Amino acid sequence: MRPRMTIHFGSFASARSVVGGTIHELAQKHDNVWGLAADTGGSLAAFRAEFPDRFIDVGVAEQNLAGIAAGLALEGNIPFITGMIPFMVMRACEQNRTDIAYQDLPVRLIGTGGGLTSGGGSTHNAMEDIAIMKSMVNMTVLSIGDPNMIRDILILSMEYPHPMFIRLAQGKQDRILYEPGEFEYEIGKGLTPHEGKDATIISHGEMVFESIEAANALEEEGISVRVIDMYSIKPLDKDLVLKAVKETGNILVLEDHLMEGGLASTIADFFVDEGVYPKKFKRLGIPQVYAGFGSGPEQRKKYGYDKDAAIAAVKEMLK
């Protein structure tokens, strides 16, 4: 079993800074790496200083940026778009689908503010993004909470010839979950940061932190809960899900996304398609509501999908 706590676990780092630094590093090695922003390129400042001819800021024009990224990719470049999820995903939705996904171009869309972490209210909340992006043929959808993980993912994305949407959590203050090098990441795979046998919480992004905290608390009460970080939502790590059903029976999906259309829906689809029926299956996430203001943790509490809600849900499943 992995150590319960490390010197890093639970402390904060900025995923955005890691993204900016990694794209810069990649650009030094690969002359086809571009950094793109729609007035959201702060983390790319060092990249821009060294490679001004491969940095594009179009101002507040997200759909334009997605089209430009497609044009760059058609010419053999790998454009990394950084921005805030709702505008990157929804304002540019058709360009993402028709210019990028339809042509299967290696554009990377890296968005901050996953779920209700932005604090900006419903205009800035990202609660539909996974539903929208995973519905696009050819599009790979990842959700990453740990700020170090994003570095490894961006490096391995250089060998990946398809479009990719990477959802980050808040982006500035992100929970460190794993030691650098602790896990090897792969598109289409999940990982198991906490072992258990009575139930499994499957989660992604920042919610993995809440899931591990819930599992730790439950362990003290003698309940053994497995936690899966399903950072690859599409393609889904079906084997890992199947194993969890076989070995733990009960499945709880905990996510900072609308309960309908997110990871829970992907897993429910998988269960139905494969004829796999867990003992019990429950999902916690954002209900059908336009949430207001407040921090991520405050809202998760309010809408019933935080650590405490997960603990209660697991206990209920085990009754």
Partner 1 sequence: MADQKEVRRLKDLACDMRKKLLYLCGTYEGVVHIGGDLSMTDLLIGLFHYGMNVDPSDLQSPTRDRFILSKGHGAVCMYIAMALRGFFDYDDILEKYGKLDSPYGMHVCKVYLPGAECSTGSLGHGLAVSVGMALSARQKKQSHRVFCMMGDGETCEGSVWEAANTAASYNLGNLTGVVDKNSQLMSSYADDPMSYENYADRWRAFNWNAVEIDGHDMNQIVDALDNLPPVTSEKPTVIIANTIKGKGVSFMEKVIGWHAGALSTEDMEKAIAEVEAACAAERSAA
Task: Tell me the closest approach of the beta carbon of residue 2 to partner 1, in angstroms.
Answer: 43
Q: Which of 289, 279, 288, 287 is nearest to 316 (CA)?
A: 279
Pick between residue 70 and residue 153 the one whose CB is nearest to partner 1: 70
Task: Tell me the closest approach of the beta carbon of residue 64 to partner 1, in angstroms.
Answer: 4
The beta strands (E) that lie in 215-279 are given as: 225-229, 232-234, 250-258
Pick between residue 36 and residue 144 the one whose CB is nearest to partner 1: 36
Pick between residue 15 and residue 72 the one whose CB is nearest to partner 1: 72
Say which residues have a Cβ less than 8 Å from residue 219's Cβ, sequence separation at least 6.
Answer: 196, 225
Q: Which of 18, 57, 12, 63 is nearest to 39 (CA)?
A: 57
Q: Does 220 sit near partner 1 (CB under 8 A)?
A: no
Task: Tell me the closest approach of the beta carbon of residue 33 to partner 1, in angstroms.
Answer: 11
Distances (CA, A) of 23 to 29, 54, 65, 156, 314: 10, 11, 17, 12, 40
Contacts to partner 1 from residues 41-60, by CB under 8 A: 53-54, 56, 58-59
DSSP state of 7: S
Contacts to partner 1 from residues 72-101, by CB under 8 A: 72-77, 79, 94-95, 98-99
Pick between residue 60 and residue 272 the one whose CB is nearest to partner 1: 60
Q: Residue 31, by phi and psi: left (phi above 0), alpha (psi -120 to 50) or beta? A: alpha
Q: Does 104 sit near partner 1 (CB under 8 A)?
A: yes
Q: Does 135 sit near partner 1 (CB under 8 A)?
A: no
Q: Does 66 sit near partner 1 (CB under 8 A)?
A: yes
Q: Does 64 sit near partner 1 (CB under 8 A)?
A: yes
Q: Does 103 sit near partner 1 (CB under 8 A)?
A: yes
Q: Does 142 sit near partner 1 (CB under 8 A)?
A: no
The CA R_g of the chain, rounded to the nearest whole Å, is 19
Contact 176, 12 (CB under 8 A): yes
Task: Tell me the closest approach of the beta carbon of residue 102 to partner 1, in angstroms.
Answer: 6
Distances (CA, A) of 65 to 7, 21, 60, 79, 167: 40, 21, 9, 10, 18
Task: Tell me the closest approach of the beta carbon of residue 63 to partner 1, in angstroms.
Answer: 5
What does the binding site for partner 1 look like in residue numbers (CB under 8 A)?
53-54, 56, 58-59, 61, 63-77, 79, 94-95, 98-99, 102-104
